[in-house]
Structure 1
Amino acid sequence: MIGNYYGGEYYSSWILFVLPAMLFASYAQLKISSAFNKYSKVSSGTGYTGAQIARMILDRNGLHDVRVEQVGGKLTDHYDPRTKVVRLSSSIYGGNSIASMSVSAHEVGHAIQHAEGYFPLILRNNIAPIANIGSRLVWLFIFIGFAISPFFIELGIALFLAVVLFQIVTLPVEFNASSRALVQLENGIMERDKIKPAKDVLKAAALTYVAATLVAIGELLRLLALTSRRRD
């Protein structure tokens, strides 16, 4: 069975379940890169940097205790609910482009979600530790299961289910943060003719989360296909 696992069945299941999702993920990455590169060169017309916009939106929503910090890397922007910090990459933090405004407002959207107790965000944060373990250890448990006992296969699949659930719950979290971002930008920050480009940036970013979810589901289906006979 282990030999068969490493043979044609392994690769055929990858082609069937994972490859289509990976191709879509590549397309999504091209879309976000294209949108970001395009609109990072177009001024937002606000005269503010991404960091200033983040601070402005936080303050207008009463989130004076949330800090805005600069972080290294590209597209590494995120909100950390543990420390209540919006971290923006250098080009977003100091930039005044449409892309900078869009990404900055999106991350602040997560801070607003956190402050309001937005349930999908709370659920995602609670699932995250298990999902991290599942993504790292799933194949170890599968290998042990083939060698020793189907129990470990079941355990590995259960852990990977947390990964899939995490990705699924991420979708409403990210979509909602983008909606909140647009509401804030439309409320006296960005001119009307700049809103559509901002939507384009946020829609392109949303595709990457959809792609990640499809990849996770594809991996789960592959796991189930590969281990079905061993678990019977």
Structure 2
Amino acid sequence: MLFHPMDILIFIAFGLSIWAQFKVKGNFSKWSEVGTSSGLSGAEVARRILDSNGLYHIPIQVVPGQLSDHYDPISKAVRLSENVYYGRSIASISVAAHEVGHAVQDKESYRALVLRHRMFPLVNITSGIAPFLLMGGFFLHQTSLIGLGIILFAAAVAFQVITLPVEFNASTRAKNFMLAEGIIRNHEEKGVNKVLGAAALTYVAAALISVLELLKFVMIFFQGNNEEQED
């Protein structure tokens, strides 16, 4: 089947994903031009929040690229892009505080984060195998292969869905940390919300696409089963 009604929803979700990417870059660029009242850099904000949470041992490292910021739970390090590390803007400190939010989640064994870490090795394998099983099943008209592919693909979808509360919680922590530490004032919350909200939207769009694709495969699977039974 070349076209499925669910494709329309998936196409819309892809459009949302592309729009979200533009929003992330646009908001980061816009709020990179707005300085903070504290005058702190992203690295300084990250260090202050880490220390206030007893995470003195976690280093803050500079990494190449734009918006390549992340927390590495294996090396226990916060890694910030140059613009964020050295930047003294609303955008820079928002991203830095968000990544520190993940470090605090790790310290507190935040359930969704722990589950995501445990799932990662499995999802790394299943996400690579699932497309081949699905394509093979469709090409050979073997619903058993499609079914197995769906099961493996579902693990990857679950991983993306679990990522949502992890990201939203890290953003909430970031804003609360900065307010508590006096790093931002109330009138700066708007910019922080814009930067972090746009980033969160990309995760929502990615999860939505995956869920819709999974539903499409499930519908095709049951349709194939019904056709086999009729034959």
- Could you state the TM-score of these two structures normalised by the residue count of structure 1? 0.90
Give the counterpart letter for 1:124 in structure 2.
R
Residue among 195, 205, 208 paired with 1:214: 208
* Aligned-residue identity in percent: 44
The corresponding residue for 2:55 is 63
Once the 2 structures are TM-superposed, how far is the Cα of residue 207 of structure 1 from its aligned partner?
A: 0.8
1:16-27 alignment to 2 at 5 Å? 16-27=8-19
CA-based RMSD of the aligned residues comes to 1.7
Residue among 23, 34, 37 paired with 1:45: 37
Task: Report if the CA contact (8 A) 2:147-2:221 is conserved.
Answer: no
Residue among 61, 81, 102 paired with 2:73: 81
Once the 2 structures are TM-superposed, how far is the Cα of residue 136 of structure 1 from its aligned partner?
A: 2.2
The corresponding residue for 2:155 is 162
Residue among 23, 30, 38 paired with 2:22: 30
Task: Report if the CA contact (8 A) 1:79-1:86 is conserved.
Answer: yes
Once the 2 structures are TM-superposed, how far is the Cα of residue 196 of structure 1 from its aligned partner?
A: 1.8
- Could you state the TM-score of these two structures normalised by the residue count of structure 2? 0.90
Query: How many residues get paired?
Result: 224
- In structure 2, list runs of 5 or more residues that go unmatched: 227-231
Once the 2 structures are TM-superposed, how far is the Cα of residue 213 of structure 1 from its aligned partner?
A: 0.8
Task: Report if the CA contact (8 A) 1:69-1:85 is conserved.
Answer: yes
Once the 2 structures are TM-superposed, how far is the Cα of residue 231 of structure 1 from its aligned partner?
A: 4.2
**Quick one: structure 1 residues 79 and 117, their matched pair in 2 at CA, closer, same or farther if it must change by over 3 Å?**
same
Q: Distance in 1 between matches of 2:225 and 2:78?
A: 45
Give the counterpart letter for 2:170 in structure 1.
A
Residue among 115, 121, 124 paired with 1:123: 115
**Quick one: structure 1 residues 17 and 225, their matched pair in 2 at CA, closer, same or farther if it must change by over 3 Å?**
farther
Q: Distance in 2 between matches of 1:128 and 1:110?
A: 16
SS in 1 for 2:61: strand
Q: Does structure 1 residue 173 correspond to structure 2 residue 166? A: yes
Q: Distance in 1 between matches of 2:2 and 2:66?
A: 34
Task: Report if the CA contact (8 A) 1:18-1:222 is conserved.
Answer: no
Q: Distance in 1 between matches of 2:64 and 2:201?
A: 24
SS in 2 for 1:86: strand
1:88-99 alignment to 2 at 5 Å? 88-99=80-91
Once the 2 structures are TM-superposed, how far is the Cα of residue 45 of structure 1 from its aligned partner?
A: 2.5
Q: Describe the superposition over 1:114-154 as per-residue Cα deviations: whole angstroms up to 9, x where unpaired.
A: 00010000011112222232332222012333438543322
- In structure 1, list runs of 5 or more residues that go unmatched: 1-8
Once the 2 structures are TM-superposed, how far is the Cα of residue 230 of structure 1 from its aligned partner?
A: 3.5
Q: Describe the superposition over 1:187-217 as per-residue Cα deviations: whole angstroms up to 9, x where unpaired.
A: 2112222122111111111111111110111
Q: Distance in 1 between matches of 2:147 and 2:109?
A: 33
